[in-house]
C-alpha cells in the first residue's frame, strides 16, 4: 500500500542556519504518526513543507501520492492543517467560521455540515456568538472542527495540546483517537513524550534537524535496555543499610520515603546480584518492582548523547 506521507532527505535552511538536515520518514495510511522534538527541533518547518506552505531546499515529499512541490494544489485537496495557534476568524460566529470553510471546500451542504460539527464538538450553545467571546478550549475545538470539513485524508496537527490543562488535553486526545478510528491519517508534532506514547502508532524523534530515532513507542523504549528496580524497605535506617550493602557496584539512588532505585541493564545476573547482595546483608525489602523505561528516558538518552556530539 502506498504511504499517506513519504518524506525523503528533506533539507531546509534559514539564512544559512540549517533547520532540517536529511529528514526522511514515511507514514502509513490510517495511522497516527508523531514527530517528537523539543522547541526549535524543526517540527513546524517539517509541517510547513508537507502542507505546501514553504518549499524545501532539498529532498522530496509526497502527501496522498502527490509531490508537495510539483502538485501543491492536489496536495491541498487532500489535507487540512491545524496550526499551533487556533486559526479561527474571531470576528465571525462559530457557525459562520464553519460555513466559510464549507463554502471554500465546496461541500454539498455547508449549513448541514456546520450543524453536525457544532453538535459533535459541543459548540451548539455558542454557535451564533462571535468567536472573540469563546474560551481558549472552545476556540481550539472550533479550529479542529473546521479542519474536518470536507473529510481530508490526512490531517496535520502542530502541537495540538501545547498549553492545555489536563482535562482539555484528554479531550483532544479523544478527538484524535476518533479521527484515527475513522481511517484518517494523522500527523502530529509534540514536545510531550506521553502524548506520542498515548496516541501514535509510529514515532520519529527529531533533534536539531535530524531524525535521531524511529519506531513504535515499544521499540523506542528498547533503546534504553533494562530498566529500573525499585525497592521499598521497612524504614529509612534499613534503606540506608541496604544502600551501603549494594555499594558502588550498583549505584543505588535514594528516593522518597524508604525507597531505593537501582538502574539495571536488564540482565538476569545483574538483577540477581542485587538480591544476593541484600540477602548477604540480611536485609529484607518489604516490596520491590521493576519499571520499564519511559519515553522520557529514551528521549533524554538520545538527545543527550547527540547533543554532546556537537
Partner 1 sequence: MTHALADTWTLARRSLRHITRSPDTVITVLVMPIALMLLFVYVLGGLGQLTGSVSYVDFIVPGIVVMTVVSGISYAAVRLNMDVQSGIINRFRTMPVAPSSILGGQVASSTLSNLFSSLLVLLVALAIGFRSHAGITGWLIFAGILLLFTLATTWLAIFFGLLARTTEGAGAFSYVLILFIFISPAFVPTSSMTPWLRGFAEHQPMTPVVETMRSLLVNGTVGPHIWTAMAWILGILVVSYLLSVTVYKRKAIVVNT
Q: Which positions lie near partner 1, rule CB under 8 A? A: 44-45, 48, 51-54, 73, 76-77, 79-81, 83-92, 96, 100-101, 103-106, 130, 146
Residue 59 CB, shortest distance to partner 1, in Å, is 17
The grid coordinates listed for 64 are 496522498
Residue 210 CB, shortest distance to partner 1, in Å, is 18
CB nearer to partner 1: pick between 100 and 271? 100
CB nearer to partner 1: pick between 47 and 231? 47
Distances (CA, A) of 118 to 84, 142, 145, 170, 231: 21, 8, 8, 19, 51
Residue 235 CB, shortest distance to partner 1, in Å, is 53
Residue 179 CB, shortest distance to partner 1, in Å, is 17
User: Could you tell me if 304 and 280 are in contact, meaning their C-beta atoms sit under 8 angstroms apart?
Assistant: no
CB nearer to partner 1: pick between 156 and 250? 156
Residue 93 CB, shortest distance to partner 1, in Å, is 10
CB nearer to partner 1: pick between 53 and 69? 53
Q: What distance in Å separates the CA atoms of residue 90 and residue 136, rounded to the nearest whole number? A: 12
CB nearer to partner 1: pick between 88 and 138? 88
CB atoms within 10 A of CB 252: 23
Strand partners, 155: 80, 186
CB nearer to partner 1: pick between 158 and 297? 158
Residue 19 CB, shortest distance to partner 1, in Å, is 10
Q: What distance in Å separates the CA atoms of residue 27 and residue 158, rounded to the nearest whole number? A: 16
Amino acid at each position: 500500500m502506498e504511504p499517506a506521507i513519504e518524506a525523503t532527505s528533506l533539507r531546509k535552511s534559514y539564512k544559512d542556519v540549517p533547520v532540517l538536515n536529511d529528514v526522511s520518514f514515511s507514514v502509513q495510511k490510517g495511522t497516527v504518526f508523531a514527530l517528537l522534538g523539543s522547541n526549535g527541533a524543526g517540527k513546524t518547518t517539517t509541517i510547513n513543507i508537507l502542507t505546501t506552505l514553504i518549499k524545501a531546499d532539498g529532498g522530496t515529499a509526497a502527501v496522498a501520492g502527490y509531490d508537495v512541490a510539483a502538485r501543491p494544489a492536489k496536495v491541498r485537496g487532500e489535507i487540512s492543517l491545524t496550526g499551533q495557534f487556533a486559526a479561527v476568524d474571531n470576528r465571525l460566529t462559530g457557525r459562520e467560521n464553519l460555513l466559510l470553510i464549507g463554502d471554500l471546500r465546496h461541500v454539498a451542504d455547508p449549513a448541514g455540515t456546520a450543524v453536525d460539527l457544532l453538535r459533535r464538538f459541543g459548540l451548539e450553545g455558542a454557535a451564533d456568538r462571535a468567536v472573540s467571546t469563546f474560551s481558549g478550549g472552545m476556540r481550539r475545538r472550533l479550529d479542529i472542527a473546521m479542519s474536518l470539513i470536507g473529510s481530508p485524508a490526512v490531517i496535520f496537527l502542530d502541537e495540538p495540546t501545547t498549553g492545555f490543562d489536563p482535562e482539555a488535553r484528554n479531550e483532544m486526545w479523544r478527538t484524535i483517537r476518533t479521527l484515527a478510528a475513522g481511517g484518517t491519517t494523522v500527523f502530529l508534532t509534540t514536545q510531550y513524550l506521553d502524548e506520542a506514547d498515548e496516541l501514535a502508532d509510529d514515532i520519529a524523534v527529531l533533534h536539531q534537524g535530524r531524525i535521531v530515532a524511529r519506531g513504535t513507542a515499544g521499540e523506542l523504549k528498547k533503546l534504553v535496555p533494562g530498566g529500573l528496580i525499585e525497592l521499598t524497605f521497612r524504614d529509612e535506617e534499613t534503606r540506608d543499610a541496604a544502600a551501603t550493602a549494594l555499594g558502588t557496584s550498583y549505584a543505588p539512588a535514594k528516593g522518597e520515603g524508604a525507597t531505593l532505585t537501582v538502574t539495571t541493564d536488564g540482565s538476569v545476573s545483574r538483577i540477581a546480584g542485587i538480591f544476593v547482595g541484600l540477602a548477604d546483608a540480611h536485609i529484607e525489602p518489604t516490596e520491590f518492582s521493576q519499571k520499564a523505561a519511559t519515553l522520557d528516558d529514551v528521549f533524554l538518552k538520545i538527545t543527550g548523547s547527540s547533543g554532546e556530539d556537537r
